[in-house]
Amino acid sequence: MDGSDMRQSLAIEVTDLAKYYGRHRAVAGISFDVADGEIFALLGRNGAGKSTTMKMLSTLMLPSGGRARVAGYDTVRSPREVRHRIGFVFQESTLDPALTVLENLRFHATLYGTPRRQLDERIEYALMLLGLEPHAKAIVARLSGGLARRLEIVRALLHKPKILFLDEPSLGLDPPTRTRLWQEIRHLRERDGLTVLMTTHYMDEVENVDRLAIVNAGELVAIDTPSRLKAAVGLDRIRLSTTNNALALHQLVAAGVPAWAEGEVIVCCVPDAERGIGRLLGHVDVPATSVSVQRPSLDDVFVHFTEQALAREAAEPPSGTHRRRVRS
């Protein structure tokens, strides 16, 4: 492979990538980039096209159209080069249930050509990573689902990949193990420049990624940092209680503040809660007893953009091939 097939600035480059099964559109010509060392998430409902995208990028599935480069190599023209530079954690188990934990790790390391002199050191590190040392000689078929999931994750890191694909990595993991996993991933990113492309249903995990893309019906409907996506969704909410809520609400509405009552609390919408609280209280002649701020969550972001996409889809006439490119 000559140097002309290599690019170092981006870990993943996706251009008009598509997958069709007959007339069914699984992935509809999507385009996005992932920088070296970036933690990037695909967020979407089941069947949105996340896992199909991951399989095409990891050379496990041929695209129907478009192209992708991973670790500098074209996924169709140079699949072997791609595979040697990535690690993959699937939703479905790919462990050998008849082998022990140690044997699964040794087989994987040998398959990826790990130098013999490094083999024991890397396996020892993998076992330590998520607390699998006590289970090294256990048969995989007898492991709990959580322990088996831990094994799949450390196995994917065993050959020191440049890029790690995580398809719902936290399924079956308890909260402490999830926390430990992400601490280690961030450590590997800082130490080795590890790039991560992941899918997840856990919103707290998505809070910690560098950027995320929302996938709906095979299309990317939004892509940016979590904070910018939340800012794009709408206004902050201030929840206010006073000694006389009825009077306070009347005064706020009279001042043109979008406000309404929710039980014993007044809810007000403002562009920037930190700057808006003082101005808000200036409209009220009664003492405040409590004030709290609620900013848009990633749940709000997800619902907002997927509902927008559904509304656009309902308004558009049927067409043969529909492609959408979303840029950050």
For the chain, which residues make up each domain, given as ranges?
A: 3-85+161-229, 235-294
Q: Confidence band (pLDDT; 50, 70, 90) for 6?
A: very low
pLDDT digit string (tens) for 61-97? 999 999 999 999 999 999 999 999 999 999 889 999 9
What integer is the mean pLDDT of 8-33? 94
Q: For the whole model, what pTM was predicted?
A: 0.79
3-85+161-229 and 235-294 share one fold: no
pLDDT digit string (tens) for 265-287? 999 988 888 888 898 899 999 99
pLDDT at 318: 57
Please tell us whether the domain made up of 235-294 is placed in CATH 3.30.70.1510: yes
pLDDT digit string (tens) for 281-325? 999 999 999 999 988 888 888 888 887 776 666 666 655 444 444
**Partner residues linked to 237 by β-bridges:** 269, 294
- Structural fold of domain 3-85+161-229: Rossmann fold (3.40.50)
